[in-house]
Chain A
Amino acid sequence: MSSKDQIIQAIQKVKSDNKTLPEIPEFRVPEDLLATFILSIEGNKGQVISKEDFQSWMEEKGYSKILSNSERLEVSSSQILPSDPHELAELELAILDGQWAAAENGAIWLDDTQLKLRAIPFITEHLVITVPESNILGNMHQAYEKIGAQHSGFGVFIAGPSKTADIEQSLVIGAHGAKSLTVVII
């Protein structure tokens, strides 16, 4: 008997009465979605700026190795999209478009369409994600309602920069992935 059959049979032997699958009701969401979203991102140690401020932010930072997949911001990439992500090991800034965001926790959804190469938001030293204000939802239930039917091979909720508190619970930003997250509201 295969391992699969063994496991399935062991489960079937002890099957009890059928339970019903709980439904998930609609919950109340914060009234000011943008303000809540900004607070959430800041709590996650990211920052939020407006589209108007983006240009001066770029000038101030002066990054030179840039890869942008954004269709919402006009930035010229200094790096072409490689087929091998290892070529992005020195990438300083990646700019990506977010699809949907949840105000309650700052989570922003992106999938293969926006990422193009899955390693980008993780391997880059700094990350910018654009979010249209109208795409900010209340909570995760609403977010899954929006993305529920999508069939992307990979999708991710990103809510802040890479962080850790594994040394004496002291928060340190920039563990392995992006050392900063800047969200640009469109």
Chain B
Amino acid sequence: MSHPSKAAEFLKDQAKSHWHDETLWFVRDKRDKISKSIPEWENLRTIASGLKDYVLNNLDTLLLDFEANAKKNGIHVHWAVNAEEHNQIVHSILEKHDCKAIVKSKSILTEECHLNPYLEKRGVEVVDTDLGERIVQFLQQPPSHIVLPAIHLKKGDISEIFHEKLKTEKGNEDPTYLTHAARLHLREKFLKAKVAITGVNFGVAETGEFVVCTNEGNADMGVHLADVHIACMGIEKIIPRRKDLGVFLRLLARSATGQPITNYNSHFRSPEPGKEIHIVLLDNGRTRQLAREKFKNSLKCIRCGACMNTCPIYRRSGGYSYGSTVPGPIGSILSPGIDVKKYSTLPFASTLCGSCSDVCPVKINIHEQLYEWRQEITKANPDMAKGMSMKMASGIFTSPLAYKISGSLMRKSLKALPKSIIYNPLNVWGKERDLPNPPKESFKEWYKKNRP
């Protein structure tokens, strides 16, 4: 299904989609305020972008350093070329420890690999422990946002599913009440799990350590109670030095939610005595993206979600309309790199306003890459993006007379036409849009009268 048709689904519930739009804009606003409280903000973005340039150009040596240092610290390092191999590795570790139930904390990478269904098919109970992720897991949905997984849901939806799954009071929608019910439920899972899986925010080549950031503390609750910690990490998450964390931790939470830092920022360097840490380094198309000169910068992403919160399309169409693990502007340049056919409509789900690039903490030129993907996709499939309306417009624009007549006709007809013509199902443009009041005269007419 294409992005426009899924966006239309989302927009059916107008009150909810309006709330979604406003709430994400509020988060964007918080990001603006806190970024302006640091005079060196733009400088930090430039440094972060430069650090990631260095990473992308030295990924081989940094990964090898990371592996060597991690091994020295007693961490087991695994390499996976694709999702299947990643899942096999994780499952084999679970089998070795005879583990039938795991706790997992927010990891987009395991979503990308479809780890949950893989393990569930093999008899392993997987419990997502981030509150938002647990909610969508109960509903058998994927996250709709990489930082705010349940942002598409209202508290009424959550109250309902908690009543069913956790036996909370019917109709009690109080967020504190619901959160504390989840706390009790998940604590039980934390205390029982022998293996905990986490994602990775940053891997430090210099020390072989990796960093996981959460506000809830769920990653730490999981791993410190379990005997085995499996950390799943995309190869692009490497940074050179420990001190570079200073730059990235200052940018990450401020960009993501407008807070100065996440409340828990854990640095794992070696296992606690008697325990094990495994790292799975995953490629899954990343080296392919690295080879695309125009698109390799997309690998700089630190998954803050700022581009989603600011995007006028994402805010109004919801995460599911993208149909990809990572939605929004960054997802629209990453996903075609994975499967250009499946995700061919995503680069068109943008106004190219450039707001995504403006807020990106590592200065990825997202809107330019969206434009580049459009070129690639249109080259590969010329029929795409050439609907009837575009053909008509090209006829009008090539003839000056036609342009002049159509302009004055339009100004008159906009007033006269019944709404049913503009908002009929054949006119895709008219969907969810309202027309402006037409001006009395064209710019050309106005200029003739007013020129000096």
Contacts and interface: CB of A to CB of B under 8 A. Distances in A.
Do A and B interact with each other, yes or no? yes
Interface string B172-201: 000110111011001100110000000000
Interface stretch (A48-56, A60-68, A91-99, A161-169): A161-169
A18 B247 CA distance: 21
Contacts of A165: 148, 257
Contacts of B259: 43-44
Q: How large is the interface on B (under 10, 10 to 19, 20 to 34, 35 or more residues)?
A: 35 or more
B272 A166 contact: no
A163 B287 contact: no
Given A24-B243, A144-B245, A148-B243, A17 B260 contact: no
A103 to B, nearest CB: 10
Interface in B398-428: none
A86 B154 CA distance: 35
Contact of A19 (B57, B129, B246): B57
Contacts of A22: 46-47, 50-51, 54
Contacts of B27: 169
B135 A166 contact: yes
Interface of B: 23, 26-27, 38-40, 43, 46-47, 50-51, 53-54, 57-60, 63-64, 67, 73, 79-81, 85, 129-132, 135, 148-151, 153-155, 158, 175-176, 178-180, 182-183, 186-187, 190-191, 215-218, 220-221, 224-225, 235, 240-247, 249-250, 257, 259-272, 281, 283, 287-288, 290-291
Contacts of A122: 217, 220-221, 224, 264
Given A2-B79, A15-B60, A43-B260, A168 B287 contact: no
A7 B287 contact: yes
A154 B215 contact: no
A85 B250 contact: no
Nearest to A152: B269
A82 interface: no
Contacts of A28: 39-40
Contacts of B179: 164, 166-167, 172, 174-175
B80 A174 contact: no
A162 B235 CA distance: 29
B267 A140 contact: no
A11 B287 contact: yes
A158 B246 contact: no
Given A22-B51, A86-B191, A177-B220, A7 B148 contact: no
